[in-house]
Amino acid sequence: MLTIEQAQIDDMSDVFMLAKKLATSYEVNRLAFNKSFNCILNDPKEVVFITKHDQSIIGNYLGTIHTTFFANGAVAWLEELYVKPDYRGFGTGMTTM
């Protein structure tokens, strides 16, 4: 069964491993990631969700919320989305969003 929940501090290591797999142009530095993860968890305009399959984290979504003129208010922007290869093609990414 797939579940979606907001990431918590205890999810940091699992999300770090997913971020390393997502990165193709940059090397994800653990110390910088830890600092960013903590900042994101404490910023009301940023959010990290995780998708779990039977309690294992299989994907993550990082988004930001910002105000726009065209929408007359706040919109969400998808910054990063990663789903483990074995779970792709089944709507897992769409479930995350």
Domain that holds residue 27: 2-96
Domains of the chain: total: 1
- CATH number for the domain harbouring residue 8: 3.40.630.30
* pLDDT tens series, the chain, 97 aa: 888 999 999 999 999 999 999 998 989 999 999 999 999 999 999 999 999 999 999 999 999 999 999 999 999 999 999 999 999 987 776 654 4
Q: From start to end of the chain, where are the E strands?
A: 2-6, 46-53, 56-68, 73-83
Q: Which two tokens stand for residue 8?
A: 């918590």
